């Protein structure tokens, strides 16, 4: 599954290097290599520093994926709701999109750093067992032997800010898209519009759906087996499916920039 995820993402990047949907799910590379090592090793230990490093990079990549999905929703909103202005807006917003991506990395860098600094203040006993197969913030707070109140508050606040606002933007974009689709009389136009955002909707559903299940299992008093299954779905299965979902639109993505140009030339 890991090889399929990495090779699939690399093939899409090589095929359509200018499209933002080719961004691979990098967070799987912070987890799966260590998991594969644990499977084949007699010892399933991870050092304290390795655990913190895994948490840090996992948070950065997951947060960046979250924000990139939001930027893609905006792109589809402009393409469908303002097709005649798409070329002008995207050309004008080209630098803005790059800035948004850089801002995503910067924000997640500092948010992850804050969590790491809070985790370093906690104490853990030797031989502490982490329920899933990788280090994540909620699980580390559970197994810590010192006060975790400040860290838990910070975790919930940052999660609310970094999830609620992107999800709200995605919902608003698709509300406007659906409103535009209802006003379209041509079935062909509706089909083209749906194909434009179909893959993005699938990835958004998988990303937030499995992520919600995984964190509900992490926060609740569920069995370790159920938590493990939810973690595998979120960190292994979903990233593996993304290249297949995106590859369904390779031809559409290749001609994505041409459609608005033809529409803009109409009187």
Q: What are 213-236's pLDDT values in tens digits?
A: 767 666 655 556 776 777 787 788
Evaluate whether residue 258 is within a structural domain: no
Evaluate whether residue 256 is within a structural domain: no
pLDDT higher at 242 or 167: 167
Evaluate whether residue 110 is within a structural domain: yes
Percent of the chain with pLDDT over 90: 2
What integer pLDDT is reported at residue 224 of this predicted model? Answer: 65
Domain range spanning residue 208?
A: 2-9+26-250
What integer pLDDT is reported at residue 116 of this predicted model? Answer: 92
Instruction: Average the pLDDT over 11-32 and give the result.
Output: 66
What integer pLDDT is reported at residue 97 of this predicted model? Answer: 66
pLDDT category, 265, cuts 50, 70, 90?
very low
What integer pLDDT is reported at residue 219 of this predicted model? Answer: 60
Q: Per-residue DSSP letters for the chain?
A: -HHHHHHHHHHHHHHSTT-GGG---GGGGGTHHHHHHHHHSS-----HHHHHHHHHHHHHHHHHHHHHHHHHHHHHHHHHHSGGGHHHHHHHTHHHHHHHHHHHHHHHHHHHHHHHHHHHTS---TTPPPSSSS--HHHHHHH-SS--HHHHHHHHHHHHHHHHHHHHHHHHHHHHHHHHHHH---HHHHHHHHHHHHHHHHHHHHHHHHHHHHHHHHHTT--HHHHHHHHHIIIIIHHHHHHHHHHTTHHHHHTTTHHHHHHHT--
CATH number (domain holding residue 158): 1.20.1070.10
pLDDT digits (tens, 9 = 90+) for 121-132: 888 888 788 877
- Judged against a pLDDT cut of 50, whether residue 6 lies above it is answered with yes
Other CB atoms closer than 10 Å to residue 249's CB: what's the count?
19
pLDDT higher at 257 or 147: 147
pLDDT higher at 127 or 25: 127
Evaluate whether residue 142 is within a structural domain: yes
Tokens describing residue 226: 């159920």
Q: State pTM to two decimals.
A: 0.75
Evaluate whether residue 173 is within a structural domain: yes
The count of domains in the chain is 1
What integer pLDDT is reported at residue 261 of this predicted model? Answer: 40
What integer pLDDT is reported at residue 21 of this predicted model? Answer: 44
28 contacts 235 by C-beta, under 8 angstroms: yes
């Amino acid at each position: 599954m890991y090889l399929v995820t990495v090779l699939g993402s690399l093939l899409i990047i090589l095929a359509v290097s200018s499209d933002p949907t080719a961004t691979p799910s990098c967070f799987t590379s912070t987890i799966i290599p260590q998991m594969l090592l644990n499977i084949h090793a007699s010892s399933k230990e991870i050092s304290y520093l390795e655990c913190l490093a895994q948490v840090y990079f996992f948070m950065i990549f997951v947060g960046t994926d979250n924000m990139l999905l939001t930027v893609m929703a905006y792109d589809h909103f402009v393409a469908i709701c303002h097709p005649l202005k798409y070329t002008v807006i995207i050309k004008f917003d080209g630098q803005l999109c790059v800035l948004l991506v850089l801002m995503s990395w910067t924000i997640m860098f500092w948010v992850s750093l804050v969590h790491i600094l809070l985790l370093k203040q906690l104490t853990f006993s030797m031989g502490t067992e982490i329920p899933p197969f990788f280090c994540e913030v909620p699980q580390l707070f559970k197994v810590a032997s010192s006060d975790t109140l400040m860290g838990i508050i910070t975790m919930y606040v940052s999660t609310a800010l970094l999830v609620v606002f992107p999800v709200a933007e995605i919902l608003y974009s698709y509300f406007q898209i659906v409103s535009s689709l209802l006003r379209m009389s041509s079935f062909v136009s509706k089909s083209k519009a749906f194909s434009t955002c179909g893959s993005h909707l699938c990835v958004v559903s998988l990303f937030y759906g499995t992520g919600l299940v995984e964190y509900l299992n992490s926060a609740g008093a569920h069995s370790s087996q159920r938590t493990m299954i939810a973690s595998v779905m979120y960190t292994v299965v979903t990233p593996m499916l993304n290249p297949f979902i995106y590859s369904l639109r390779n031809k559409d993505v290749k001609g994505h920039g041409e459609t608005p140009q033809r529409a803009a030339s109409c009187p």
